Amino acid sequence: MNQQTIAKSVELTGTGLHKGVPVTMRLEPLSAGRGIEIYRKDKNVYIPVNHKYVVDTKMATVIGKDGVRVSTIEHLLSAVYSYGIDNLLIVLDNDEVPIMDGSAASYCMLLDEAGIKEQNRPKRVLKVKKSVRVEDGEKFAQLNPSDGMVFDFTIDFSHPVIGREYLRFNFTKEAYLEEIARARTFGFLKEVQYLRSIGLARGGSLENAVVLDDNRVLNSEGLRYPDEFVRHKILDAIGDISLAGMPIMGEYRAFAGSHALNHALVSKLLSSQENYEIIEAKNQESRVLSYAFASS
Ligand SMILES: [Zn+2]
């Protein structure tokens, strides 16, 4: 299977979650071997989309270089990864990716509009060779060797609407579009009020997040999936592990995972060459990837 970029440039405008300011995002094709890059047009700085440039993981995954940052990249990257895109330039005129509806659905529509273009260089894939695990108390995230691409996630919130949710997701682009892409980010009213008090979440609203008080979902339309919360955590995990820089063949497992744990996991995986190998997708790997990233 060969590397892919988008067939033509596309653009969308939205609002940043934290500052609440308008942001225009343009996606442009990039030549084979370049990978994914962000260009902050207003600062004239290029930031490689790679785990080495992650500068913050508290509220969202944030990358930065030379003091220039871009926040909340994970939902966009999740869509880009799921479309099997290897090379892409993301041009932004502010420091956040537009949050849209809090899921990856708008980015998927944008990528559908752009179309996929095959390039004349083999796709590279990262195969997990040895299990790698990071923990924070009872929370953990782990990558295990596997011939497929699997995301296995459990959350456990002491909240009447959420509770314990578990999903094992065998990744394909088609399954992603149906089962994961529309799952929105979520937050608790108490936290939103606190974040507002410190100048964050200014763009946050019921338009771009599921918001819960102590007992119920406040959005009048309710949930998009009965277990939307764990599905969104898988959406996040896909975006976060894409910062390894290429598709990962392996099994991801997490309990109460977070952006911080996902970042620590990717960094640990790549810290020793005993943990992984990078191969050009030929024969068996190529079949797995072609199936995973196929368009209907
Ligand atoms: Zn998220």
Last residue of a domain, one of 122, 138, 173: 122
pLDDT tens string 225-242? 999 999 999 999 999 999
Contact call for residues 227 and 167 (beta carbons, < 8 A): yes
Q: Are residues 63 and 162 in the same domain?
A: no
Ramachandran area for residue 7 (φ above 0: left; ψ -120 to 50: alpha; else beta): alpha
Look at residue 287 and tell me whether its pLDDT is greater than 80.
yes
Q: Are residues 173 and 205 in the same domain?
A: yes
Look at residue 296 and tell me whether its pLDDT is greater than 70.
no
Contact call for residues 79 and 86 (beta carbons, < 8 A): no
181 CA to centre of ligand 1 in angstroms: 11
The confidence score (pLDDT) of residue 288 equals: 85
122 CA to centre of ligand 1 in angstroms: 31
From 51, 75, 232, 259, active-site residue: 259
237 CA to centre of ligand 1 in angstroms: 8
Q: Are residues 82 and 209 in the same domain?
A: no
Average pLDDT over residues 170-181: 97
Q: Are residues 131 and 276 in the same domain?
A: yes
The confidence score (pLDDT) of residue 9 equals: 98
Average pLDDT over residues 265-279: 97
125 CA to centre of ligand 1 in angstroms: 24
Active site residue 259: yes
Cα 133 to Cα 121: distance, rounded to the nearest angstrom: 32
The confidence score (pLDDT) of residue 141 equals: 98
What sections of the chain are H helices per DSSP? Answer: 74-82, 105-114, 173-179, 189-197, 228-241, 259-271, 283-292
Tokens 């990744």 appear where? 171
Average pLDDT over residues 260-268: 98
Q: Are residues 133 and 262 in the same domain?
A: yes
pTM, entire model: 0.96
188 CA to centre of ligand 1 in angstroms: 14
What is the domain-level CATH number for residue 177? 3.30.1700.10
What is the domain-level CATH number for residue 104? 3.30.230.20
Q: Are residues 92 and 164 in the same domain?
A: no
Last residue of a domain, one of 122, 139, 160: 122
Last residue of a domain, one of 122, 144, 177: 122
46 CA to centre of ligand 1 in angstroms: 24
The strand pairing partners of 20, in sequence order, are none
205 CA to centre of ligand 1 in angstroms: 14
Q: Are residues 52 and 189 in the same domain?
A: no
262 CA to centre of ligand 1 in angstroms: 12
The confidence score (pLDDT) of residue 54 equals: 97
Per-residue pLDDT band at 101 (split at 50, 70, 90): very high
Contacts (Cβ under 8 Å, ≥6 apart) of 50: 35, 63, 243, 245
Domain count, the chain: 2
Residue ranges making up the domain that contains 190:
125-292
Query: What are the tokens at 242?
Result: 């894409």
Per-residue pLDDT band at 25 (split at 50, 70, 90): very high
Q: Are residues 102 and 151 in the same domain?
A: no
Q: Are residues 59 and 151 in the same domain?
A: no
Dihedral of the alpha carbons of 77, 78, 79, 82, in degrees to the nearest 10: 120
Share of the chain above pLDDT 90, in %: 85
Average pLDDT over residues 53-79: 96
Q: Are residues 110 and 188 in the same domain?
A: no
Cα 228 to Cα 223: distance, rounded to the nearest angstrom: 7
pLDDT tens string 183-223? 999 999 888 888 788 777 777 788 899 999 999 999 999 99
Q: Are residues 288 and 145 in the same domain?
A: yes
Cα 247 to Cα 269: distance, rounded to the nearest angstrom: 13
- DSSP assignment of 50-72 equals SGGGEEE-SSS-EEEETTEEEB-
pLDDT tens string 124-169? 999 999 999 999 999 999 999 999 999 999 999 999 999 999 999 9
Closest CA to 257 of 167, 145, 131, 160: 167
Phi, psi of 210 (to 5 degrees): -85, 125
pLDDT tens string 35-47? 999 999 999 999 9
Q: Are residues 228 and 106 in the same domain?
A: no
